[in-house]
Chain A
């Protein structure tokens, strides 16, 4: 193992650090709604993992072994991909809730 093996994980860490501060500082309410977040991510993650498994099996894309940890799940899917599919949609929801918090614009789920 080399430091480069954490390259993909480093990109994911950048996304996490770039978003979680929006909760305490800007008032984006995301992690404080864990059930809603889990329900929203479930169908998205299911679809993305299925797509990834298909794409990997068909050879659409693959991963440079120098930049991943090598930890894989069944179907040769790197653990980094699973984390990516959880972290990036969450980051999008953070952005959405942060803009809403600052602008106080209506979204339609206020009831």
Chain B
């Protein structure tokens, strides 16, 4: 299998894990979409660094990009998004979703469920000006 195929299969697998196998329904939560939006922003920065400096390199046989880049790949184009192969978006989605799904699953089974994350009153007061 190519990286493209495995990444797509992993993303679909994570969705099935969430909705049908563990039934955690993380994909239906606002918390998931807000926190994932934050993470994917940082993913583009950190992964852009790893791929932009060609710290990680990819075979054209494994990705939809047609060329081998031993130096900086395109910022956008030839299957690249912010230097990284577009496949990384699916890889990242699968990794992030499955981690949160297992986290919520074990929590709902009563494993270290409490204390529930909550910003302290003192900290809320301190950042009140942001509201």
Q: Which B residues lie at the A interface, using CB under 8 A?
A: 2-3, 6, 10, 24-25, 29-32, 34-36, 38-39, 42, 46, 49-50, 53-59, 61-63, 95-96, 98-100, 102-108, 110-113, 115-120, 123
Contact = CB atoms under 8 A, between A and B. Distances in A.
Contact of A109 (B2, B10, B104): B104
A99 B3 contact: no
Contacts of B54: 64
A62 B59 CA distance: 8
Contacts of A25: 123
Contacts of A60: 2-3, 58-59, 61-63
**Most chain B Cβ neighbours within 10 Å, of A8, A27, A97, A109:** A109
Contacts, number: 160
Contact of A55 (B24, B32, B62): B62
Contact of B35 (A39, A59, A90, A98): A98
B106 A40 contact: yes
27 contacts: A7-B53, A14-B46, A25-B123, A26-B119, A27-B117, A29-B115, A36-B103, A44-B95, A54-B6, A60-B58, A60-B61, A61-B56, A61-B62, A62-B56, A63-B56, A64-B53, A64-B55, A89-B99, A92-B96, A97-B117, A99-B34, A101-B119, A103-B31, A107-B29, A107-B31, A110-B113, A111-B108
Contacts of B63: 60
Contacts of B111: 35-36, 39
A108 B118 contact: no
A82 B64 CA distance: 26
B62 A92 contact: no
- Output the residue of A58, A64, A96 with the most chain B CB within 10 A: A96
Given A98-B117, A99-B34, A111-B110, A43 B102 contact: yes
B118 A92 contact: no
A43 B99 CA distance: 9
B119 A102 contact: yes
